[in-house]
Structure 1
């Protein structure tokens, strides 16, 4: 799963027993050499799709981590791009990769922006928010966008119940729930708390007009269902 430049088992254990913020501060220098980083295929497919919907002016990467989403913004935005995250360690890595971008350290459940961006993206972050926390996140993104602005993020189709992947994700979430029941501080990271219909409902409640588009470059399952969708949430006013 990990390259020789990735974290050791001991380092991962220390991270998993930390808070989300502290855990990512520790993981940041080696994060790009783990499977947790959003794959380049998703980044490239998202950039290709958004290029057909743009160009855009200013861009915001929500929970930017080491800056994978800023690669997309750099391709499709004509104006300044900004990354926001609450991990100082992740932001330090992102600055190294994207020196032309602006970075803000903040809790994205209380984004400090008002009608500042034309496009917002996010990659691999939604599992770090409990369902009860999503409204504050989505309302903040809505507030950060200008009227007509777009919030885009990729979401994978859940693996079928007959697949190994389904049971691996179920097991991971189960382990995390046990860990958080017996250990403090909690480390919120769940793979099965973000079904697309629930996300659409929360986005609509936050004021977005929501649509989806298959990321065709990532292929389809045997039943014809796309492997991955791009959620497109637009602020209408």
Structure 2
């Protein structure tokens, strides 16, 4: 799963015992050589789906890491692309990978997704592989922040994979990872928040609606379907409504 030039077991252990920010600063130089980077097949499928809905003017890659999502935005945005992340190390890698004179302009901003340093300036916000770093109780605030930086009619798009069933080895691998992470966070400080099984489709749709979005989804057909015919991955597209957010159900 890891490239021979990727992080060593020792490096991964040091990262896992650090804070999220410090851990990603340490991992940044080798991050793109790990399975934690969003696969190109997913990025390409999302880019194709967004191209059919665009073009857009200004795009934001939320929790951009080394910039895989920014590369998607560069294919569908005409004016500018911004990547925001709280890891200075990940931003530095992303900045070094994009030619400074390649259009559209790409800006790299250090910031917290829970307190975005922007106004309503963007037509499109994307995010890839970052939501496991937020516990479910943080989703209302996170989605409210995204809503606040989108222009009316702007879209928030991200892929969400179908959860594996109990018969799949991946189900137990992800279950074991999340369990180990909970034990680690109960015994060690600072916490490292990274869970794979807490970002559920029904919960996400409800919270996006409460945050003031109209939510739709489409199958990413290029990623195939499961034996029961359901898509392996969907693209969630949440459009900012012009009104105020709706009250959350009790």
TM-score with structure 1 setting the length: 0.99
Counterpart check, 1:174 vs 2:179: yes
2:203 maps to 198
* RMSD, matched Cα: 0.7
CA distance in 2 between counterparts of 1:3 and 1:108 reads 30
1:149 maps to 154
- The one-character-per-residue Cα deviations of 1:63-114 (angstroms, maximum 9, x if unpaired) are 0000000111000011110000000000000101123410110111011111
1:45 maps to 45
1:187 maps to 192
CA distance in 1 between counterparts of 2:20 and 2:4 reads 24
1:125 maps to 130
Q: The residue matched to 1:57 in structure 2 has which SS?
A: strand
CA distance in 2 between counterparts of 1:50 and 1:97 reads 23
Counterpart check, 1:60 vs 2:69: no
Runs of 4+ in 1 over 6 A off after TM superposition: none
Q: The residue matched to 2:126 in structure 1 has which SS?
A: strand
1:135 maps to 140
- The one-character-per-residue Cα deviations of 1:175-196 (angstroms, maximum 9, x if unpaired) are 0000000000000000000011
Gaps of 5+ in 1: none
1:207 maps to 212
CA distance in 2 between counterparts of 1:79 and 1:133 reads 31
Which residue, 228, 235, 241 being the options, matches 1:230? 235
1:3 maps to 3
CA distance in 1 between counterparts of 2:241 and 2:228 reads 34
Shift of residue 4 of structure 1? Answer: 1.3
Shift of residue 136 of structure 1? Answer: 1.2
Shift of residue 115 of structure 1? Answer: 1.0
2:15 maps to 15
Q: How many residues align?
A: 237
CA distance in 1 between counterparts of 2:152 and 2:110 reads 24
1:27 maps to 27
